[in-house]
Amino acid sequence: MTKGVDVDLENVWIRFGNFVAVREANVNIKGGEFFSFLGPSGCGKTTILRSVSGFLEPSDGKVRIGGKDMAGIGPNKRPTALIFQNLALFPLMKVWENITFSMEVKGASKAERRKRADELLDMIALPDQGEKLPSELSGGQKQRVAIARALCAEPDVLLLDEPLSALDLKLRQHMRTELREIQQRVGITFIYITHDQGEALTMSDNVAVMRAGVIDQIGSGHAVYNDPATPFVASFVGENNVFRGKVKSIDGNMALVSTNRTGELLARIATTAQGKLKVGDPAMMFVRPEVLNIAPDTSPAVNRLTTSVLHEEFEGLIYNVFMEGSEGKEIKMSLVNVGKQRQSAEGNNLTLEYVPEQAVVLPAGELASE
Ligand SMILES: Nc1ncnc2c1ncn2[C@@H]1O[C@H](COP(=O)(O)OP(=O)(O)OP(=O)(O)O)[C@@H](O)[C@H]1O
């Protein structure tokens, strides 16, 4: 099987009439990487994928695969294979025939096809299932057969457009691990489209977070979660509490933000804003639910906020405590369940604290809508 090749988008714009679906996309996807485009519905993820697969030409800019400019090269001539949400296996063909359909079209012998099907069935951990019909497989098994069918054509790049969204939650979570394992086994470039941040973070080497046609950030799951480049990324990837205010002072990479309701809050300036954020600038401070804690009486005043508890919920692994925030938004704190029944604080005031380095300050900007 071929190893993956780089996929590059250079200054790619895609317009439909006056509507800009993708704005100035610059992306370098390394050969053999699992790369995801993550963003809400309608942000342009599928449109980007279509420009890589060749079903759509960019209005401006270049798509390169393996360094080669793809302009004017149709989908059948590109070293890519595409997997959709609706897999559409051929219902009357056996699993092994489904997998090797592309070889049959090219006139390969039955013996060759059978041999290749067995290799691919091993690859997707479904040995000895080749004689079954698709209707005799589970949803997850069908998904794996669709992947094997796409891999049979020996693409350099596999494009996956929300392939797990039709599966139920448990299977979806299981398939994340499977997909990642298959990708590591075959070693080719996977480009994955999803609006599910859990999927993107668990499987990807790198993630591009998109908002309304614009790529806000490209980085590892760790980077986009812990060091978001924009308020949109901070509020779209995972859960976050946001506090609005103005920068009161800056000391190195730390900023003190005066907020309207919750006093002065200290946090680390996000990497992209370091050296740019100035005293007096409108800012947003983000602190994740798992970073908040109940403050002991001795903690320093700058990392503390006092607010009233509205309600609590028990989720098994964690207790979620919802408190009064500003602008009608609740503040959420998640406490790990250590096996002791928690005394509910509903109706009381709580003073919270956090480690300032684990909270992030960004210039004020657009948030993701729920
Ligand atoms: N052929 C087209 N003509 C006009 N507008 C289009 C066309 N294809 C897509 N769009 C618009 O471009 C935007 C991006 O669409 P796209 O399908 O890429 O979104 P997406 O991020 O994949 O969303 P979803 O997660 O819902 O599939 C949308 O506003 C969509 O309406």
Last residue of a domain, one of 171, 196, 226: 226
CATH code of the domain containing 42: 3.40.50.300
Task: Reduce the DSSP state of residue 179 to 3 states and report it.
Answer: helix
Segment 205-224, tens digit of pLDDT: 999 999 999 999 999 999 99
Of 101, 189, 192, which Cα lies nearest the Cα of 152?
101
Report the percentage of the chain scoring pLDDT > 90: 69
Give the residues across from 117 on adjacent strands: none
Query: Residue 112 contacts by C-beta under 8 Å, 6 or more apart in sequence?
Result: 103
pLDDT digit string (tens) for 265-282? Answer: 999 999 999 999 999 999
Q: Are both 74 and 208 inside the same structural domain? A: yes
Tell me: do 205 and 285 sit in the same domain: no
Please tell me the pTM assigned to this model.
0.90
**Where on the phi/psi map is residue 107: left (φ > 0), alpha (ψ -120 to 50), or beta?**
left
Domains in the chain, number: 2
Alpha-carbon distances of 61 from 12, 24, 156, rounded to whole Å = 4, 8, 22
Helical packing angle, 110-123 and 169-186, nearest 10°: 120
Q: Which of 18, 19, 196 to mutate to test the pocket of ligand 1 (most atoms within 8 A of CB)?
A: 19
C-alpha–C-alpha distance, residues 299 and 293, integer Å: 11
Q: Mean pLDDT, the chain, as a whole number?
A: 91
Region 320-329: mean pLDDT is 87
The pairing of strands 282-287 and 34-38 is unpaired
**pLDDT exceeds 80 at position 3:** no
- Predicted local distance difference test score (pLDDT) of residue 299: 65
Looking at ligand 1, which atom is closest to the CA of residue 210? 21
Q: Are residues 188 and 249 in the same domain?
A: no
The stretches of 55-189 forming alpha helices (DSSP H) are: 95-99, 101-105, 110-123, 139-152, 169-186
Same domain, residue pair 155 and 284: no
Residues 281 and 302 in one domain: yes
Q: Per-residue pLDDT tens for 334-348?
A: 999 988 888 888 888
According to the model, what pLDDT value does residue 300 have?
66
Q: Whose CA is nearest to atom 7 of ligand 1?
A: 16
| Residue 46 Cβ contacting ligand 1 at under 6 Å | yes
Cα separation, 306 vs 353, in Å, equals 9
Residue 173 has pLDDT above 90, yes or no: no
Mean pLDDT of 16-39: 96
Q: What is the pLDDT of residue 106?
A: 85
